[in-house]
Amino acid sequence: MEIFQKIANKLRSLLNINIEINKLHKPLNDIQKALLLDRLERYLLVKHTNPFIQQGVTKEFLRVVEIAIHSFCNRKCWFCANNSRVDRHSDKIDMLDEVFLKILNELARIEWGGY
């Protein structure tokens, strides 16, 4: 029974160390977010005509790409900002394969690694 008590004590110690480490990470995460926002502001407040800068900004700040491959949408989601502005009910138009592949190729060219 004594061995189990020693193991339990070690696990408690490790848990306490982990809790202390997590307390240290919060301020670091806040600092990282502030630095990211500062860089984001500097990049987005200037219109960049250099394609290499544009690609760098895209690669660094674009995190998620969601591609709708057709135009149909019922625009009835509670969070939708466009629910009355665009007619998405009448026709269903599929995205051209060339457009879809162009998007993928451009993301691949800058070695984008988001979602």
| Domain boundaries defined on the chain | 1-46, 48-115
In the prediction, which pLDDT does 99 show?
93
Rounded to the nearest 5 degrees, what angle is found at the Cα of 19, between the Cα atoms of 14 and 23? 145
pLDDT, tens digit, for every residue of 42-94?
A: 777 777 788 887 787 788 778 888 888 877 776 677 766 665 566 666 777 88
| pTM attached to this predicted model | 0.49
pLDDT of 97 above 90: yes
pLDDT band at 25 (very low <50, low <70, confident <90, very high): low
Helices H / strands E in the chain, number of each: 3, 0
In the prediction, which pLDDT does 50 show?
83
Average pLDDT across the chain, whole number: 78
